[in-house]
Amino acid sequence: MNSLDWTATLNSIKEDLPTAQFQNWLKPIEYISSDDTSVCLGVPSRFHEDMLRSRFVDTLKKAIRRQTGNDLQLEFEVLVRDENTEASKSEILAPQNPAPVTPQNPPRPMLRLVHNQADYDEEEQNFPTPIEGPNYPKFNTPFLVSEFNRLAYQCAMLLAEGSNSQANPLIIQSSVGMGKTHLLSEIGEAIHRRQPHLRIRYTTFEAFTSEMVKSFNDKTTQAFQYRYRVETDVLLFDDVAGLAGRKRSQEELLHIFNEILARGGRIAFTSSQPISRLTEFIDPLKSRLLSGLSVEIKTPNHEEKVELLGQVSFHSQISVDHTILRSIADKGQKDVRELIGSLFRVHLQAQLENKPLNNEFLAKEGWIQESHKEVITLDEIISLVEHNFGINRSDMVSKSRKQAIAWARQVAMYLARRYTLLPLEEIGNTFGRDHATVIHAFDKVTETMQFHPTQGYQVEFLIKKLEARQPKDNYELPI
């Protein structure tokens, strides 16, 4: 067997992976040893090991085979750092009558770092409940990753792994229904799988405020403070923007924020708006939030919606044709939650009626106008755009980037994507472009219709012409 050059192995992998994936998951691996049957590699945590086994084992084995000429098994060991040795020996004991948490009487560090399965098995009976919180959200499917939320997911997993201090605290920002609560739950589950001894607490701004007010009324404020400041290792706080105008809640959260981070704990927030735009917030808390890593879950474009629906179908064991997913994604849902709900709704309806989920069924339910898609041709769409924009077909399919020609071309692609069932590749080929250009044109025209009324009116007029099926010689813009 050839000797294993680990540096060369990593370099060969680096060429085949996106930079972020390589830096986050492959670069931290340390070579320990190898023999004729296996390679032993060091990783920072069990979570890191799970991620490698689920996503990168084939990549690692292939690279090692190129170096050694043999198929070797992979073994992983979690590397215990010297600075964590003493911390891993500490105990988690709460006093029977805890003293008030004050600047003069700060809580002692409560985190323990457990690095191997033997530690887990030895003290399993002492582990706290998985994740505390009266309204902790549970999801039936894993958090599904696509391009629009990939960065947010990667940052969330860095926080869950705990190896990158720059990801702590983490603020996940998005509009309503985009999956930020689901991702917050995913962080909690990932941390508990890897470090079940940690005490993870989930709360929302409503639950937090209600709990704090109740502690005032019941004269149990000290217990409330101790529960959050000392007995919480990981805080998952859903929709911090909801605390706007609630000064007392903000002040209490600020103290909790400082105490948890001072003990080496982790915090993740979600917010329905960027932290910089939060109003009616006390400056110290807003400043602390702005110091964290803020990442946005963006609105998916059409193809990302289709990809997401495909993943949902797979995980939910729904058999559905790709063209149906495209039709559902065309419906124009406002958010991911509504998009996924649309799929489940039409699937259930088809099951109840014992009918196949196809375009005919969607047309019957009013989801698409199938009869129009059957009769409208790409050639007719190009002719329509020619007459109304004064741009020749030859110019539209040329390489010209003149603004007027490019806009006419994008509109033609948009209408073709919307009113025909042609594959993206075929639409693109007609204009001498690829499928990615068609996707870009669809998104560009959609955005322009929303923010530029004049150009949007042009497109809407063509849409009405197509849907009304007017004679071709009447295609002209009104004066």
pLDDT in tens, 408-457: 999 999 988 888 777 788 888 889 888 888 888 888 898 888 788 888 88
- 269 band by pLDDT with thresholds 50, 70 and 90: very high
Q: 73 or 50: which carries more pLDDT confidence?
A: 73
Instruction: Judge contact between 306 and 271, C-beta under 8 A.
Output: no
Residue 53: CB atoms within 10 Å:
12
Beta bridge partners of residue 74, listed in sequence order? 39
Domain-by-domain residue ranges, the chain? 6-82, 128-296, 302-368, 374-474
- 472 band by pLDDT with thresholds 50, 70 and 90: very low
Q: How far apart are CA 321 and CA 208, in angstroms?
A: 45
Q: 180 or 89: which carries more pLDDT confidence?
A: 180
Window from 203-207, 221-225, 298-302, 473-477 with minimum mean pLDDT: 473-477
> Which residue bears the tokens 């010297």?
82
pTM, whole model, 2 decimals?
0.54
State pLDDT tens for residues 336-395.
Answer: 888 888 888 888 888 888 887 777 777 766 665 444 444 678 888 988 898 888 888 888
The radius of gyration of the chain from alpha carbons, rounded to an integer in Å, stands at 28
Q: Which pLDDT score is estimated for 257?
A: 92
Question: Can you tell me whether residue 444 is helix, strand or coil?
Answer: helix
CATH number of 6-82: 3.30.300.180
Torsion (CA) 250, 252, 253, 256 in degrees, nearest 10: 160
Return mean pLDDT, the chain: 78
State pLDDT tens for residues 163-176.
Answer: 777 888 899 998 88
Q: Which residues, including other chains, have CB under 8 Å from residue 102's CB and lie 6 or more apart?
A: none
Pairing of strands 234-238, 266-271: parallel
- pLDDT above 90 as % of the chain: 15
- When pLDDT is averaged across residues 188-200 and rounded to a whole number, the result is 88
State pLDDT tens for residues 119-174.
Answer: 333 333 344 455 666 667 777 777 888 888 889 999 999 998 887 778 888 999 98
pLDDT of 84 strictly over 50: no
Q: Which pLDDT score is estimated for 111?
A: 37
The maximal CA–CA distance of the chain, rounded, in angstroms, is 87
CATH number of 128-296: 3.40.50.300
* The CATH number fitting domain 374-474, selected from 3.30.70.20, 1.10.1750.10, 3.40.50.800, 1.20.1250.20: 1.10.1750.10
